[in-house]
Each structure stands twice: as structure tokens, then as C-alpha cells.
Structure 1
Amino acid sequence: MPSFLPALVKWIEKQMAHHSRFEDSPFIPESAFPWSRELEDNWRDIRAELDTLLEHRDALPNFQDISTVQRQITNDNQWKTFFFYGYGYRFDPNCERCPRTAELLAHIPGLKTAFFSILGPRKHVPPHRGPYKGVVRYHLGLKIPSPEDSCGIRVGGQEAHWREGAGMFFDDTYEHEAWNGTDEDRAVLFLDVVRPMAFPYSLLNDMVIKGIARSRFVQDAKGNQDAWEQRFAQLLPRK
């Protein structure tokens, strides 16, 4: 990451509460992102493609296998991923395997990261903070075991529970944790989108995001994703 970025990131984050286009809070109203309605209206199409992938669940990469920094919060085989985008980089083979999901993702303004996030049985992700306030996180519930209140997320001290076909937006720079208290997988579509901000802070935000995308930890993750894809292609050819 360029040397000027850490100080710039710190300064921009201080401006978020004043210059974002919505109130600074752990959870964010869906009305701030009207595009989410299309995803939720078509969640069953996304779920169908997820179900096909889950036939090869064990071959899916662990989160820390792609993004090694995640080893701070997970080190087992119970957080599986399937990436479509990572900090703006599109992973074409995975998009081709899930064409309907890819089509819906292509309509989302400011999309930076998108993947299926699968928490295995009894998996707990401990409290942690996201790296940068310039993006907003979205979860679309796809596979939520019963009872729904056995799976949840706590953000900034506020607890919420996923529902199939329903989404939630939150600010991951608040301390947050997630858990699956059941004996089945819990799966969501996990997105990061650019935080809407007033000019000129929006321009500075874009600069920081581009800088992060060029950083070593993102480039290493991209390389790990590409290497995994080569292995997965032998198991599950593209459509």
C-alpha cells in the first residue's frame, strides 16, 4: 500500500459520520440501497446455483486459504467461500459457473467484493473489525437452518438474524461477530459496496479503495484465488 494511504484512510474514516448519505450506525436501512430489491426478488435463482456448488462443498476454499489475513479469526475448515469479485477484480470462471448470480451482481452500482459465505455447523467467527469504512457490507440470506434465531450476527452490540430471501446492510468497522449454532451449513451472499458519500469525499474514498486493491494483501488473495480455480476446474468444468 502506498505510504500516504494509512494516514489518508484514518482521516477519511473520521469524515464518514458527517459526509455519508445516511446516518452512521451499526445497521443501515435497506432504503439507502434500492438495488437490493432485485437481489431479494430473485434469491431463489441464486440459491439454486449455490446448491449446485454445495455438492462439492469440501473442495471449496476456506476463507483463510484465499485471504491469509483471515487466519486471525478463523483457522479451520468451517468457513467456506466462493468468490465472484474481490476488491473490484472479477473472477470470470466462478461467474461463468453461476451465470444468473453473475447477471444480478452486474447490475449493482459500486460493487467491490462478492462471494458465497458458508459457515459450517457450530462455527463461530469471533469479534473483529473490518479494515475500512469506505465500503458497506450486505448479506443476503440464502440457506438459513432452523430455527433461524440459532444463527446470528452482532454488530456494535446490536444482534440480528438472517432470513432466507432477506438482506441486511451493516458497517463492518463496528466490532462484529457471527455464529451458526446448528448442525447444518448457513450460507449468505456476502457483498461489499462503495459507501455513498458527498463530493469531494467520494473521490477520496475511490482513491483509497483503488490503493487497497493494489496492495499486497489483495494481490496475494487474488493469486490464491487463481491458484484454487486451476485446481477446481479439474473437478467441476465450466458450463
Structure 2
Amino acid sequence: MDQTDCVAMTSPATTDQTNSTPSPDAKQTFGTEGIAPMERASLVTRILMGIVGWAEGLNLRYSKVGNPPVYDKATFPWARDIEKEWHLIRAELDKVLLRQSELPSFQDISTDVKTISQDTRWKTFFLAGYGLKSENNIKQCPETWRIVQKIPGLKTAMFSIFEPGKHLPAHRGPYNGVLRLHLGLIVPEPRDKLAIRVDKQICHWEEGKALIFDDAFNHEAWNHTDKTRVVLFVDFVKPLRFPARLVNWALLNIAIFTPFIREGLDNHNEWEKRFYAEAEALRNKAS
């Protein structure tokens, strides 16, 4: 297995990555114990969430790549190509971080994240998500944008910034029709104070290395160092067989019309206006 930065908390999970059935030691549950969902009164939203629950069962049954919490990078050959150009992404990130204090906290963009994060230590720099793009941010990171286009089924791309002391509590993602990639960009020491747990595996980020996992498993992450950790955060479509592939395509393409995505877009647009207006003011003052 090419995921040498992960260790099992207990005995290793008996996951066969070529098998379409989930391992008995690694189970997905809908929702996170101890964390209440955001209130959504819309009847349409409640119906959609029922369909999502049904689709998740299909995705587990018809997966082309099995259902492990953490994947062997060799399962996705394009991951090597992303790693080879990581230094170009890092160079663009360094420029973004010159204004780190002005970047939005994750929950300021995606309000549902308030169930797991309410401080200002988890920041983001958004490039694209579910058919929506930040053209201004992409202009700041053209190489990053070019590189992520190599990822089949790209759905989201952003920088995820964990400032010192940040601990994201145990939770699960909203839907198992996508998988997540973290590409380590800034990974401070000491190693034992910085990690992500996915199901029963504890993984450590490495600069220039990809970590691919299924965020529909219970997971948590922490940065107990005194420096900032940054990863390129990408969601991409999970490879599925028919009929799950068709259902998944439909759900992912209507996601743009849900309150979760629309609110995030509105919030990001408001932040972007302020961020780039301030940048323009600084340029005019300098000239």
C-alpha cells in the first residue's frame, strides 16, 4: 500500500480495495453522533436528503474502487502527476498567505460548518465547487487551477488552512459520492502534533504528497503545533458502476440548486467583493 503516512489505531482494517462491499471493520453511518444537523425547513430539502441516503447505499454497493476509509494512491494514477507539480501550487499559496488574516473562516462561507467549527482558525481560499468558480481567485492561482484540471471528476478545489491550535471534532461528510484529496503544502513539525483520523486510521500529511480518503467515514483533524498547516483540498467524483454512476451524476449536478451551495456562493461573493476592493485600494495608494 502506498499510503505510508497512515497507521491503524487498532488492528488494521480488512479492506479489499477491489471489492465493492464495505469492510466489516469500516462502516459509514449517516450523520454524526453528538452533532445536530442544521435546521432545514424546506420540504424539497428533506425529500432530497432522503434520496441522498438511498443513493449512498448504491454508492457503497457499486463502487469500482472499494470502500476503504483511506485509499492507496496507486488506485488513482493521476495523483502522481499532481504531486510532481506541487511546488508550483506552493508558490501560489505563498502569495495568497500574504493576506492570511483577511481570508474567510470556513464557516463564514459554508454556514453549516458552524456545527463543527466556530472559531477563526480554519480558513479557506476557494477556487471552485460544484459548478461554481471564483474567477478572481483562479486568476491568483493559474498554475494551481491548471494542475487540478488533471483530476477526473473534479468537484471542489480550495486551500484549507489550519492555524495553530485548531482541532476539528469528529464528524462525517454530507455524501459518499465523492472522495477527498489533501495535497500537503505546508506541514509543520512536530509530526505527532498534526494529523487527521479517518475511521480507525491516523494519517500524517507530508509536503508534496497526496492523501486520498472518504470523508463519509467519521473523521477528525488537528494542528497542535505553533505554525500554520495548509493543504490543497479537493473533492472528486467516486468511480462507480451503473446504476450508481447515473444516480450520483444526477445528485452532484443538482447540488448547485440546494440551499447549502447557494448560501455558500452568496457568502463567498460578499467576501470576495471586500477582499479585492481592499486590494485595489492598496494598489491605488501605492501608485
TM range (shorter): over 0.9
Gaps of 5+ in 2: 1-43, 281-287
Report whether the alignment pairs 1:71 with 2:114: yes
With normalisation by structure 1, the TM-score equals: 0.95
Residue in 2 that maps onto 1:21: 64
Q: Distance in 2 between matches of 1:25 and 1:236?
A: 44
Structure 1 gaps of 5+ residues are none
- Deviations 1:97-124 (CA, angstroms, capped at 9, x unpaired): 1111011122322111111000000110
How far is the alpha carbon of 1:3 from its aligned partner?
A: 5.7
Paired with 2:103 and 2:49, the residues of 1 have a C-alpha distance of 33
Q: CA deviation at 1:2?
A: 5.5
Q: CA deviation at 1:12?
A: 1.5
Counterpart code for 1:58:
S
By how many angstroms is 1:4 displaced? 4.2
- Indicate the residue corresponding to 2:100 in structure 1: 57
Given candidates 110, 127, 134, the residue that maps to 2:153 is: 110
1:140 and 2:175 correspond:
no
Task: Please tell me the residue identity of whatever aligns with 1:27.
Answer: V
Rg: which structure is higher? 2
Letter of the 1:89 partner, please give it.
L
Match of 1:44 among 45, 65, 87: 87
Maintained 8 Å contact 1:40/1:140? yes
1:75-90 mapped onto 2 (5 Å cutoff): 75-90=118-133
Deviation at 1:212, TM superposition (A): 2.0
Which residue is 1:12 aligned to?
A: 55
CA distance in 1, matches of 2:58, 2:128: 27
Alignment of 1:149-188 (within 5 A): 149-188=192-231
User: C-alpha separation between the residues in 2 aligned to 1:228 and 1:107?
Assistant: 28
1:101 aligns with 2:139: no
Maintained 8 Å contact 1:16/1:24: no
Deviation per CA, 1:201-238, whole angstroms, max 9, x where unpaired?
1110011112222101100101111111111112335x
What's the Cα RMSD here?
1.5
In 2, distance between residues paired with 1:26 and 1:86? 23
Match of 2:26 in 1: none
Give the share of equivalent positions with the same residue, in percent. 44
Query: What is the aligned counterpart of 2:239 among 177, 188, 196?
Result: 196
Shift of 1:77: 1.0
Q: Helix, strand or coil for the counterpart of 2:155?
A: strand
C-alpha separation in 2, matches of 1:70 and 1:96: 27
Count of aligned pairs: 238
CA distance in 2, matches of 1:40, 1:143: 14
Match of 1:177, SS state, is: strand
SS in 2 for 1:178: strand
Give the CA deviation at 1:187.
Answer: 0.3
Give the TM-score, by structure 2 length. 0.80
Give me the whole-angstrom Cα distance separating, in 2, the residues matched to 1:117 and 1:3: 29
- Residue by residue over 1:144-163, the C-alpha shift from the partner in whole angstroms, topping out at 9 and shown as x without a partner, is 00122321000112111000
Q: For 1:81, give the aligned amino acid.
A: T
Aligned residue for 1:220? 263
Does the 8 A contact of 1:62 with 1:79 survive in 2?
yes
One-letter amino acid of the structure 1 residue matched with residue 205 of structure 2: W
CA drift of 1:200 comes to 2.0
The 8 Å contact of residues 61 and 80 in structure 1, kept in 2 or not, is answered as yes
Matched residue of 2:152: which SS? coil
Q: Would you say 1:121 and 2:164 are equivalent positions?
A: yes
| Residue 172 (structure 1) shift | 0.6
